[in-house]
Amino acid sequence: MATRWLVFALVFVVFLAVSASAAWANKTVPQENQPASSLVAGEPSARYGHSMVNLNGKVYLFGGATAYVSD
């Protein structure tokens, strides 16, 4: 019985490590001339899973059940 819990704990720790490393790998690194808040068009945000697209000077933010369009 103790072996079963040990295997479960080991699998759980490996799962946490893989998910944490995947979250860090998706972060965007800002360049020198690029503000930290900007994303490449259509690239999903690592934190919220939204997509931000810039078309003809308007910013479209898609995510969840809503979409935001800038003025």
Please tell me the pTM assigned to this model.
0.33
The angle formed by the CA atoms of residues 28, 56 and 43, to the nearest 5 degrees, is 20
> Which residue has better confidence, 24 or 12?
12
Burial class (CB in 10 A: 0-12, 13-18, 19+), 52: buried
- What is the structure's pLDDT at 68? 56
CA 36 to chain centre: 15
Q: What are the tens digits of pLDDT across the range 25-46? A: 555 555 555 555 555 555 554 5
Domain extents in the chain: 2-26+40-69
> Which residue has better confidence, 17 or 51?
17
